[in-house]
Chains A and B, each alone.
Chain A
Amino acid sequence: MNWKFIFNPFLKFSERQLITVGSLAFISLNIVCFLFGFKMDSLLHFNSGKQNSFWEILLQNSGVIALFTLFLWGLGLVFNKKTRLIDIFNMILFTLIPTTLTLLLMGIPYFNQTAEKIANASNHPDAVSKMTLELAIISLFTLFLLPLLVYTIVLLYNGFKTATNIKKWQQTALFFGVLFLLNLIFQILIK
């Protein structure tokens, strides 16, 4: 397997193959969200806590994905009039694979309990400094989570680049600017 296609599967695979894999990722994401109590409030952020019904989760996740697809397609059209909606949609669906893995890791009860323990003790620096094992565990989890987050961003960028054929650094900067701005706006609006 060529490493190039791991980081940019949009170069090689047809839209049918991508949408099949992406759809499976979407279904898995919703199941994981339901099992662990997560809900998408933007493409790169999930909120947790309240237990929601599967249909509520499905509806909100679908809405966020649909709106992000439309906004990024709009941006794509600004750069290249030939940008197809299906390519942007496939890009977003495919990035749900590392997202689902991230949620699976974050949903591990031991990780959650440890993170909560550290958060509760954060007002007492002395207590935190004594929690060596807990800090080591969180650091280990972060070692797994960070590459997944980086992979998500790489897939988003490579997918967008393939769909729109952008070449200038200004276009790349605008893409990331719009992506993070949308994430922020969605997190504020969906509360």
Chain B
Amino acid sequence: MKLPVQCPSCDETLSVSKLTCHHCQTEISGDYELPVFLQLTQDEQDFILDFFLNSGSIKEMATKAQLSYPTMRNKMDDLIGKIKELYHTK
């Protein structure tokens, strides 16, 4: 199941207001900002995890995805730009 991160009405970033313990039914309410990683789309999160699981090798990722190295590197750079912007707006 995908975690929604953007409001379908106004496109603003969603925040967490309630957390539940499935073991003892304790509920915690508040207004918690999503961590930067979870503010990314599912594809972007998968991309970062793939990068980590490939030991940080863009070349290996490119080979597995059947794309060229510069394409993968550009994707990485765009994602780095997006994450920097998210940190900046925090």
Q: Tell me the A residues contacting B by CB distance below 8 Å.
A: 10-15, 18, 80, 82, 84, 87, 162-163, 165
Contact = CB atoms under 8 A, between A and B. Distances in A.
A87 B69 CA distance: 9
A162 B66 contact: no
A87 B70 CA distance: 8
Interface residues of B, number: 12
A11 B69 contact: no
Interface in B52-72: 62-63, 66-71
Contacts of A80: 77
A14 B74 contact: no
B74 A10 contact: no
A154 B13 CA distance: 38
A15 B68 contact: yes
Interface of B: 62-63, 66-71, 73-74, 77-78
A165 B78 CA distance: 9
User: Chain B: interface secondary structure?
Assistant: helix
B71 to A, nearest CB: 5
A12 B66 contact: yes
A76 to B, nearest CB: 11
Contacts of B69: 14-15
A175 to B, nearest CB: 16
11 contacts: A10-B70, A12-B68, A13-B68, A18-B68, A82-B73, A82-B77, A162-B68, A162-B71, A163-B70, A165-B70, A165-B77
B76 to A, nearest CB: 10
Given A15-B69, A18-B68, 16 more contacts: A10-B71, A11-B71, A12-B66, A12-B68, A13-B68, A14-B62, A15-B68, A82-B77, A84-B70, A87-B70, A162-B68, A162-B70, A162-B74, A163-B70, A165-B70, A165-B74
Nearest to B65: A12
A176 to B, nearest CB: 20
Contacts of B63: 14
Contacts of A13: 68
A13 to B, nearest CB: 6
Contacts of A14: 62-63, 68-69
A47 B87 CA distance: 55
Contacts of A15: 68-69
